[in-house]
Amino acid sequence: MNRKIRTALLTSGAALSLVLATATPEAIAKDGGGLAGIDAAATAQALAQKPLHDLAASIDEQGRKTAFSDTYSNIYVDQTRDQVIVYTTDPKHGTAIAAAAKTAHAGVDTSKVKYVSAKYTKKQIDASLDKIMGANKPAKGAKPEIYSAAEAPDGSGIQIQAAPSAVDHVKALLAGNDIPVTVTAGQAQATLDTWRWNDNAPFIGGDVLIGQSHKAGYTANCTAGLAAEDNAGNDYLITADHCFATSSSTSVYGEGDAVGSWGYSHGNFIGIVTADNPGWDAQTIATSGASGSGTNSDEADTPNGQWYAVPSDAYSYNGEQVCQDGAVSYYNGHGVPCGIKVINQDIRWAVTWNDGTNATIRGVEGQSSGYVATEGDSGALVFTVTGSNTRQARGIVSGGFDANTLLWTEAPDILNAFGLHLNPHT
């Protein structure tokens, strides 16, 4: 596969520093060059996490089914103790969930499951969250009072972050809620839309995207995330829905200017925005290629020119750690940020796009004491390491509440919403 070798140039402006990159179209980058892009500790952690993730996924799959939804609450991957904690309103019934998971997935080790009592089921809390966020819809241009709402990890209630000026009002408003609510002052989601370099087909996760913003007269710059395909073999990229105007006439390009130039001129044509889903903060970009000629399911990594195959996708669970391949983070010298720990595996948050549109998004919140992301990483692939040259897609970057949090929407939900699957070509 021909893939451009990327080189970075740091330029400083009055407001902030941004990174641009050029590429040599004829250069060839080889797959399987080891894990030079992610440090050894992060790699070891990711690989050690996989058996526990498989166990958590198999139990969560059963817990969401009708037979167990009246007792299943939440799940936590405790890698330190090499166990998966299952929160259930009936711990005795929890063993039945694990048995069903073992029947469906014989390879999982259910001896590593610990059962903990929870007060409310996921089904009860989901219904309450939908009601709360459904009422949190201000008029276009107005700001929401509730920034986010999520299940408490132990199933004891609901955790809400609200605008500091609205905390007391939200507390009063939800005083009679059917499930206990904790309200604290929070921060609104900051979207991470800006730009990187000028790739050519087949496009992959981590590529720079530039096109018409939702706000008239503005250009948006984001990162490509999932590479997908429909049943007819047509190739798509998926990025964040807040990035580009959702019109069939919106074309998306690479950045076409010389390295270090901020001209926002169009580079290589990538595709056209064809569909969007605000609830998953995702939009599809149809390329002109098919059967792998338009996109490949890979993620851009380090060193320069390296990429890794992304043959699978999955949900993330509390306690797990992920990485993200945002373009600007990479070229700002942060490589591929990893060690982002899931603290809320199912959270709703409110966001106001740059044209004043308000949306409620459902996804995951991660946190790290180190670097997480920056503007320009929106839409980037969120993933885990599954082998020396493979990754597993977990979702796409949506934004964050502050410098140490990352919000993303989940790959299975996004693909299902659009009726697509990961591109089998890598």
Q: pLDDT of 217-275, one tens digit each?
A: 888 889 999 999 999 999 999 999 999 998 767 999 987 765 445 467 778 899 999 99
With beta carbons less than 8 A apart as the criterion, state whether 321 and 369 touch: no
Query: How many whole angstroms separate alpha carbon 197 and alpha carbon 85?
Result: 43
User: Which residues in the chain land under pLDDT 70?
Assistant: 1-43, 190-196, 248, 257-263, 302-305
pLDDT of 29 = 23
Domain ranges of the chain: 5-30+191-422, 42-117, 122-186
Q: CA 248 to CA 267: how far, in whole Å? A: 19
How far apart (Å, rounded) are the C-alpha atoms in residues 355 and 401?
Answer: 20
pLDDT at 417: 98
Nearest one of 115, 190, 159, 214 to 405, comparing CA atoms: 190
First to last CA, the chain: 9
Residues 381 and 411: their CA atoms lie apart, in Å, by 9
198-225, pLDDT tens digit by residue? 778 899 999 989 899 998 888 888 999 9
Amino acid at 96: A
Distance, in Å, from the CA atom of 285 to the CA atom of 298, rounded to the nearest integer, reads 16
Q: Which residues contact 119 (CB under 8 A, 6 or more apart)?
A: 89, 155, 156, 157
Q: Which pLDDT does position 94 carry in this prediction? A: 78
The pLDDT score that the predictor gives to residue 255 is 74
What pTM does this model have?
Answer: 0.79
pLDDT at 321: 95
Instruction: State how far Cα 373 lies from the chain centre.
Output: 12
Six token digits for residue 186: 């929070």
Tokens standing for residue 274:
């064809």
CA pair distance 216, 204, nearest whole angstrom = 28
Instruction: Give me the CATH code for the 5-30+191-422 domain, please.
Output: 2.40.10.10
- CATH fold of 42-117 reads GMP Synthetase; Chain A, domain 3 (3.30.300)
pLDDT score of 72: 94
